[in-house]
Amino acid sequence: LVPRLQPFTSTIFAEMTALAVRHEAVNLGQGFPDTDGPAGMLDAAKNALFGGANQYPPGPGRPELRAAIARHRLRYGVEYDPGTEILVTAGATEAIAASLIALTQAGDEVIVIEPYYDSYAAAVAMAGAERRVVGLVERDGRFALDIEGLRAAVTERTRAILINSPHNPTGTVFTRAELEAVAALCVTHDLIAITDEVYEHLVFDDAEHVPLATLPGMRDRTVSISSAGKTFNCTGWKIGWVCASPELVAAVKAAKQFITFVSGGPLQPAVAHALDHELPWAEELRTSLQGKRDRLAAGLAEAGFAVRPTAGTYFICVDVRPLGFDDAAELAWELPERVGVAAVPVKVFTDHPEEWKHLLRFAFCKRNEVIDEAVTRLRKLR
Ligand code: PMP
Ligand code: GLN
């Protein structure tokens, strides 16, 4: 394995899920739902499978899916031409990797917010670029963007900034003011923004998802990425997409076409159906997840953790110190065997493990009885 990929030989999700299976633990580690998506979407996939949609779809994605993505994006008030400005990918993961490979190279720096979704560091490394990490800061009871830190991280080599909101693993949803500051930085320093918006529909209470591309000066310098997995409970389908200017889409497509070329033929029309007809279902999912967030948060507090607030995503972070632990990773490795629950330590998503070692991430995208069983087991930690 080449040196630049040596830090990335395994993923925490694969490791923790394997450990959970070995100990028959309740798996609140890897974030995936334990119920299916809307029946209409599943029917559409079945119809496509038996309707002959089983060969290569067009390189940029099936036209009806690109049209549905454009309609969906229009909800935020930003218009994309399905012919030249939308690209269907193998999940958001491929979209992120192909964007970095196409747009950054050795000598370039990419600003990444810490803690970061694990694929970002690996994808920046695959591109041959370098990551410049800026940590979120705990302020006013939430994990906030460190605007000063971001400004200080820009150098003449900075090419792009990767922004994930709603944010995995903290559950932060960046405010419009925070995103405006990011936009100002991008415009001033002529940076490309790559946004990971896979949790765009999973925002709670009065939080609002603001796509960075909708802010002044950002539409043509932003690669907006999302996927169907989280919105429609189909994380295994790996249908994602990129919306950007024709130049940026053409660049990402140049990389993407030699990574997977195309994927998910019969799933693409089903996701098109879902984007056009199943957003009311996604709204019910959002409401239900908000209840699950509250259910798990209450249970984790009862179990003795200090629970951090979550405004979006599938995840809650807790501080393990009130229970007498110092390093959440040590706890995470013994938790499946000791009480039969799996969770993920936040420090594995950072370059500064000392600063983040107290936090443990739990996923609440599970049936209520699964959440309750996990809480019952976690109470034994006291
Ligand atoms: N970004 C974030 C922040 C995620 O949590 C995930 C995991 N689902 C992904 C990207 C990957 O999305 P996909 O499954 O569509 O590749
Ligand atoms: N996105 C999911 C999470 O953060 C896991 C995805 C994966 O297993 N790579 O838990």
Residue nearest atom 1 of ligand 2, based on CA coordinates: 31
**Residues 133-188: pLDDT tens digits?**
999 999 989 999 999 999 999 999 999 999 999 999 999 999 999 999 999 999 99
Q: Tell me, in angstroms, the distance from the centre of ligand 1 to residue 178's CA.
A: 22
* Amino acid (1-letter code) at residue 312: G
Q: How remote is the CA of residue 350 from the centroid of ligand 1, in Å?
A: 17
Who contacts 62 (Cβ-Cβ below 8 Å, separation ≥6)? Answer: 88, 265, 268, 269, 272
* Mean pLDDT over the full length of the chain: 97
266 lines ligand 2 (CB under 6 A): no
Q: What is the CA radius of gyration of the chain?
A: 20
C-alpha–C-alpha distance, residues 326 and 4, integer Å: 31
Nearest atom in ligand 1 to the alpha carbon of residue 227 is 15
DSSP string covering 225-250: EEESTTTTT-TTT-EEEEE--HHHHH
- Cβ–ligand 1 distance for 93 under 6 Å, the answer yes
Please tell me the residue having the least CA distance from ligand 2 atom 2.
Answer: 31
Task: Write down the pLDDT at residue 217.
Answer: 97
CATH architecture entry for 53-278: 3-Layer(aba) Sandwich (3.40)
Spell out a b/e string for 220-235, using b for 16 or more CB atoms within 10 Å of the CB, else e: ebbbbbbbbbbbbbbb
Spatial CB neighbours of 66, under 8 Å, sequence gap ≥ 6:
60, 82, 83, 86, 88, 241
Percent with pLDDT over 70 in the chain: 100
Q: What is the mean pLDDT of residues 244-271?
A: 98
CATH of span 3-37+280-381: 3.90.1150.10
Distance 164 CA to ligand 2 centre (A): 14
Ligand that lies nearest to the alpha carbon of residue 14, given by its number in the listed order: 2
Rounded distance from Cα 31 to ligand 1 centre (Å):
9
Q: In this predicted model, what pLDDT tens digit does every residue of 278-308 receive, in sequence order?
A: 999 999 999 999 999 999 999 999 999 999 9
Strands 239-243 and 222-227: antiparallel
Q: For residue 31, give the ligand 2 atom closest to its CA.
A: 10
User: How much is the average pLDDT of 39-64?
Assistant: 98
Domain ranges in the chain with CATH number 3.90.1150.10: 3-37+280-381
CATH 3.40.640.10 placement within the chain: 53-278
Cβ–ligand 1 distance for 219 under 6 Å, the answer no
**Facing residues of 163 across strands?**
195
User: Is 229 close to ligand 1, i.e. is its CB under 6 Å away?
Assistant: yes
**Ligand 1 atom nearest residue 95's Cα:** 16
Res 8: pLDDT: 95
Judged by its nearest atom, the ligand closest to the C-alpha of residue 89 is 1
Q: What is the pLDDT of residue 201?
A: 98
pLDDT of residue 134: 98
Strands 109-114 and 130-135: parallel
How many whole angstroms from 29 Cα to the centroid of ligand 2? 9
User: Closest ligand to 30 CA?
Assistant: 2
Q: pLDDT at position 239, please?
A: 98
- ipTM for this model: 0.97
Ligand 2 in contact with 31 (CB < 6 A)?
A: yes
**pLDDT-based confidence at 207, cuts 50/70/90?**
very high
pLDDT given for residue 374 in this prediction? 98
SS3 124: helix
Ligand nearest to the CA of 117: 1
What was the pLDDT predicted at 100? 98
pLDDT mean over 337-356: 97
In this prediction, residues 74-102 reach a mean pLDDT of 98
Residue with the two structure tokens 């393990």 = 320
Q: Three-state SS for 138?
A: strand
For residue 169, say if its preceding peptide bond is cis, omega within 30 degrees of 0: yes
Total-model pTM: 0.98
CB 191 within 8 A of CB 248: no
